[in-house]
A and B are shown apart, each in its own frame.
Chain A
Amino acid sequence: MARLSVVGADRDTASVGADLRVESVTHVFETAGGSLMALKDVSFAVEAGTFVGLVGPSGCGKSSLLLMMAGLLQPSEGQIAVGGNIINEPKPEEIGVVFQELSLLPWKTARENVEFPLYLRGVDRLMREKAALEMLDLVGLGDFADRRPHELSGGMKQRVAIARGFCQDPEILLMDEPFAALDEQTRMTLGDELLHIWDRHKKTVVFVTHSLTEAVYLCDKVIVMSARPGRILKEINIALPRPRTYEMMATETFGRLRADIWSLIRGSDRK
């Protein structure tokens, strides 16, 4: 496994996913009570093959931003581009999304859920079954392929959702607070597993989260957003070596990074 000492450095960007650029994105919601500015002039870049976190107070528009990257929502101004192509509709072959476990289809088995994106694309049944079973094995659910979501625990369901995101092998993976509904221990375990899979598949990952510990632990770079209207306060490079280990959480660097992010968010909330 390649060990990364510095963010994005020494990586061959041509072979590991695609660049994602958010360029001057402003978003205004029209509501019954007038227009509401959710995002204001947001710009940042996600280098190919890196793991980038998006944190900020509730309602800062980070989830809207993720929907825009997924092509599900059009920005009022500005644009989002992947490898130079502007995103104006879902592009599932390039951009995969891992949603919360609630997005699993309850009438389908774990395997059918994982292969659902391939099914939508019309991939041959045997091929998509094989791909789904491989992904389920990878997340440790090989024996649960024929269970329905209501027969699985919260952590298992989230594993299925992750497997579904990876199954179609997109270059960019967007994750919308994937672990928000899980308990602390499960989310730490899943975080490790996610890093493990990411290390093998070398995707570009954008990870929206509420948890600062999670953000520092998982990411190469954390983008901190302000309260509404959401703006970029700072991009913080997480200069911790990979692979990440639990011991790093006890280090001074880890604590300082986490505190820096918190003080930024708290400062913006006070205004």
Chain B
Amino acid sequence: MSRAGTLLAQIGIVAGFFLFWEAAVQTGVANARIVPPPSLVLPRAFAMLGDPIVLYHLWITSAQVLLAFILVAPIGVAIGLLLGESDYFGRAFKPFFYFVASVPKSVFLPVFILAFGIGFTQKVAFGMFQAIFVLVISAIAAAESVSSDFVKMARAYGATRRQLYVDIYLPAMLPVVVEGLRLGMIFNITGVLFAEMYVSRAGLGHLVSNWGMRFEMVNLFAGILLAAVLSIAVNETLRWYENRVGAWRG
């Protein structure tokens, strides 16, 4: 299929999804009180983008997500590279990260509330906590993915330690690291929204949670739609970058 054809089919699938949703509500297959039709939800979602109150909450959530990411990304990647590179630290600490990574992080939320309160700081801390394990594990994988053939070759040609890092390790690891950043971002967004929904005074999660409890279904679905579109946009941006730095993976 041509590129244009593929794009057309993809647009068709999205349009078909909304048409199916509309039809299901209009024919009574779906209960309109629980699932409002897209003919109500879509205009509401657009209207929200011009609503200063919604924008304020969106801004709070975005700020928390961004700050958490900026803080956790270098820490997670640095720990991962250290564990992947050093035999000693790797043997000692890797199992710890693998074990804890498999524990659902949401059970720790009450601890974060006791430690950080219910404000901005707690959301950032919980987002970081959600993201750090996948960041560390993918950075370990990135460090371990550097072929010893490359290192041996570069050393034989007289590479200095700095050249080894800049010209071999960095470009070889970059695509895997960026992939890890993308996954870390997904966990980070999940963590921030989840913490907002649990207890908070601001943020998109706070709004969505309140709309749900007050049975404002059109608002609730419009909010879900906004959250989905934002996450997809962030994810696809990082994926685009990942493909760009990893084009050589063929």
Contact = CB atoms under 8 A, between A and B. Distances in A.
B155 to A, nearest CB: 6
A102 B167 CA distance: 17
Interface residues on A, range: 20 to 34
B158 A107 contact: no
Contacts of A227: none
A103 B157 contact: no
A117 B150 contact: no
A226 interface: no
Nearest to B171: A107
Contact of A92 (B147, B152, B156, B171): B156
A99 B172 CA distance: 18
A103 B248 contact: no
B158 A103 contact: no
Interface string B146-161: 0101101111111110
B172 A120 contact: no
Interface residues of B, number: 20
Interface string A99-130: 11011011110000000110111000000000
Contacts of A108: 248
A70 interface: yes
A116 B157 CA distance: 8
B156 A72 contact: yes
A97 B158 contact: no
A202 interface: no
Given A70-B156, A120-B154, A99 B249 contact: no
B12 interface: no
A72 B152 contact: yes
Contact of B149 (A71, A72, A102, A148): A102
A144 to B, nearest CB: 15
Contacts of B250: 106, 148, 150-151
Nearest to A70: B156
B163 interface: yes
Contacts of B149: 99-100, 102-103
A119 B155 CA distance: 13
Nearest to A95: B156
Most chain B Cβ neighbours within 10 Å, of A70, A108, A120: A120
A90 interface: yes
B152 A117 contact: no
Interface in A195-247: none
A91 B156 CA distance: 8
Nearest to A105: B150
A143 B249 CA distance: 22
B158 A120 contact: yes
Contacts of B249: 106, 150
A100 B159 CA distance: 18
Nearest to A149: B248
B153 A103 contact: yes
Contacts of B163: 120
Interface string B237-250: 00000000000111
B172 A103 contact: no
B65 to A, nearest CB: 31
A100 B150 CA distance: 10
Nearest to A100: B149
Interface string B49-85: 0000000000000000000000000000000000000
Contacts of B147: 102-103
Contacts of A72: 152, 155-156
A108 B172 CA distance: 11
Given A117-B158, A120-B158, A120-B159, A107 B152 contact: no
A92 B249 CA distance: 28
Given A99-B149, A100-B149, A92 B248 contact: no
A107 B244 CA distance: 11
Contacts of A67: 152
A97 B171 contact: no
B248 A107 contact: yes
Contacts of A117: 157-158
Contact of B172 (A70, A107, A148, A150): A107
Given A102-B149, A107-B171, A120-B163, A90 B248 contact: no
Interface string B135-178: 00000000000010110111111111001000110011000000
Report the 4 A-B pairs with minimum CB-CB distance, sorted nearest first: A150-B250, A92-B158, A103-B153, A117-B157
Interface of A: 67, 70-72, 90-93, 96-97, 99-100, 102-103, 105-108, 116-117, 119-121, 148-151, 168
8 contacts: A71-B156, A99-B156, A103-B147, A105-B168, A106-B250, A108-B248, A117-B157, A151-B250
Given A99-B156, A117-B158, A120-B163, 5 more contacts: A97-B157, A100-B149, A103-B152, A116-B157, A149-B248
